[in-house]
Structure 1
């Protein structure tokens, strides 16, 4: 089997074109999520105490979606979703192993961040329809709060995941809570554990519920 350095070199040559910019990719994630959140907040009108409960409920829902998607889509082959499985289990986990967790430059964001087209697709396929349903079944405020929280959770997901793959001496990793979360993700990248344990990327609520935290 090729060494990690060899695999990374081949991956970059085959999958990261000269026009790719990790900084632009990261900037798009920030602009898409923060812009969407700002628009949702702008649309809110006289939010009631009950409507504010949408935020923690959406947070819990998003955490379980993160867990289920990571465990049963990214680490299990599902017909029609094979590209996600290949990109994550087949590429991300070969590029980043428990012994080689750090990215080596902005170009490696291609292996960490969701592709922009997938991000827009998932928003259009999941967050937007649920938001429209909530606007019909509940109130517009509930719908806007749901979409804003979902976007905020996704941004939180990307920022934390990117932080976990920063070099060990990064100043960000000096925060104790971030180091604790990173250790959980580091263990997930062990070849014997990656398909079985520590599926939450953000906060291990799903792992606690399903007893998969180590």
Structure 2
């Protein structure tokens, strides 16, 4: 396998015909003509930042033990990211099969190791979570867990959980979006960003995608569970 960063991503003529055909089909069938990628990412950041700011302003006399909620939640979020990506996103589960369809069957056909970059901001919809899923994440996952933590522990602990969870979510969305910009971007002059992007690049190799590099952000889960893959020393 070629160990160099992909160089086809900025040249539409270098994208494989099959991939290009699917991209055109996806844009026609799954993207509204009025879709605006910058409004989409703006909505995501506004909702998450609004929750973070509200929870931060609600903190009161946080104790040293309560501050430990931040690293614990960070690790928990990383493992949730890993499990969700490794299983329902890459293995069909009957009652949430839409997640598998959207990720493995659409995202991985739109982007592969020979065509990793967006054409323009209108392709953001292939990477970002839909607004409905963001609201669903808050109502179904974040809010009940927060209420349970508030009941079992303290209000500050619950608020710090929310702050860290949504900060991690922002981190996830921004990193994943960044991985699919041009290989000529200034971002890839930053060693850590280049390293993380290369790990995601390997995940988009069809032969590797179902077995390796399931962390989108930081490869903690991949290192723990033996699914880390890199050809770099």
Question: TM tier, shorter chain?
Answer: over 0.9
Corresponding residue for residue 139 of structure 1: 154
Give 1:60's match in structure 2, choosing from 65, 71, 75.
Answer: 75
Corresponding residue for residue 39 of structure 2: 24
Q: Does 1:180 align with 2:195?
A: yes
Q: Secondary structure at the match of 2:88?
A: helix
What RMSD over aligned residues (CA atoms) do the two structures have, in Å? 1.0
In terms of fraction of residues, the more helix-rich structure is 1
Offset from partner CA, 1:7-41 (integer Å, 9 cap, x none) = 11111011111121101001001101111100010
Corresponding residue for residue 91 of structure 1: 106
Q: Does 1:104 align with 2:116?
A: no
Q: Distance in 2 between matches of 1:192 and 1:23?
A: 32
Q: Distance in 2 between matches of 1:212 and 1:123?
A: 29
Corresponding residue for residue 46 of structure 1: 61
Alignment of 1:73-88 (within 5 A): 73-88=88-103
Q: Are 1:163 and 1:173, in contact at CA under 8 Å, matched by a contact in 2? A: no
Q: Are 1:45 and 1:141, in contact at CA under 8 Å, matched by a contact in 2? A: yes
How far apart are residue 123 of structure 1 and its match? 1.6
How far apart are residue 197 of structure 1 and its match? 0.4
Give the TM-score taking structure 1 as reference length.
0.98
How far apart are residue 174 of structure 1 and its match? 1.5
How far apart are residue 2 of structure 1 and its match? 5.9
Q: Distance in 2 between matches of 1:164 and 1:153?
A: 16
- Equivalenced residue count is 214
Q: Which ranges of 4 or more aligned residues in structure 1 deviate by more than 6 Å?
A: none
Q: Secondary structure at the match of 1:195?
A: coil
Offset from partner CA, 1:139-172 (integer Å, 9 cap, x none) = 0000000011000000000000001000011112
* Alignment gaps of 5+ in structure 2: 1-15
